[in-house]
């Protein structure tokens, strides 16, 4: 990777050392609880965000672990700045679609080949979802987002 969002070469990780394995084993023991907490946080967002945003619903045949919680809005950049100003971290994952990354140049794709992907790369914003969030923090995040869109 060059910077955070530019991929010059595709890579892979093929093995883990003993310390990583030990940590992973410990984390796996707590995985069900972690996923439950993240799913509860996601449900809180679904139930309380009333703003001009789109949140993809989990389909009945899916089971989302909510590693990330992604919303979509045409005002993504402005909302991100507003959240930052109010002490709420957010991220823009994959602002450059994979088919436009330097590492994918060999595939021969150009801008416009995947219009939906390109549209989403300009509207997606990742909100905090981690299992350590307190209810008061979730309420603050939701209140701040809802206030932003009511202005």
Give the pLDDT score at 5: 81
Q: Are 96 and 5 in contact (CB under 8 A)?
A: yes
Give the pLDDT score at 12: 75
Binned average pLDDT, 10 residues per bin, the chain of 151 residues = 77 82 91 96 96 90 95 96 98 93 94 96 96 97 96 82
Pairing of strands 124-127, 69-72: antiparallel
CA distance 99 to 113: 9
Sequential DSSP letters for 23-40: HHHHHHHTHHHHHHHHHH
Give the pLDDT score at 89: 98
Give the pLDDT score at 92: 95
Q: Model-level pTM?
A: 0.85
Sequential DSSP letters for 69-114: EEEE-TTHHHHHHHHHHTT---B---SS-GGGSGGGGGG---TTSS
Give the pLDDT score at 1: 63
Give the pLDDT score at 16: 82
Calculate Rg over the CA atoms of the chain.
18
Return the domain boundaries, the chain. 18-150
Give the pLDDT score at 39: 97
Both tokens assigned to 125? 């914003």
Segment 55-67, tens digit of pLDDT: 998 999 999 999 9
Region 18-150: CATH code: 3.90.1150.10
């Amino acid at each position: 990777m060059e910077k955070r969002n530019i991929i010059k070469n595709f890579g892979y990780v093929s093995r883990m050392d003993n310390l990583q394995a030990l940590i992973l084993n410990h984390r796996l023991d707590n995985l069900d609880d972690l996923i439950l907490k993240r799913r509860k946080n996601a449900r809180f967002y679904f139930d309380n965000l009333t703003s001009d945003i789109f949140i993809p619903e989990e389909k009945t045949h899916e089971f989302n672990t909510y590693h990330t919680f992604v919303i979509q809005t045409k005002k993504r950049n402005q909302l991100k700045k507003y959240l930052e100003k109010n002490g709420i971290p957010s991220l823009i994952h994959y602002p450059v679609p994979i088919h436009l990354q330097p590492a994918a140049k060999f595939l021969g794709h150009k801008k416009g080949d995947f219009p939906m992907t390109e549209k989403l790369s300009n509207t997606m914003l990742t909100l905090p979802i981690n299992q350590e969030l307190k209810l008061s923090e979730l309420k603050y995040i939701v209140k701040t987002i809802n206030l932003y869109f009511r202005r």
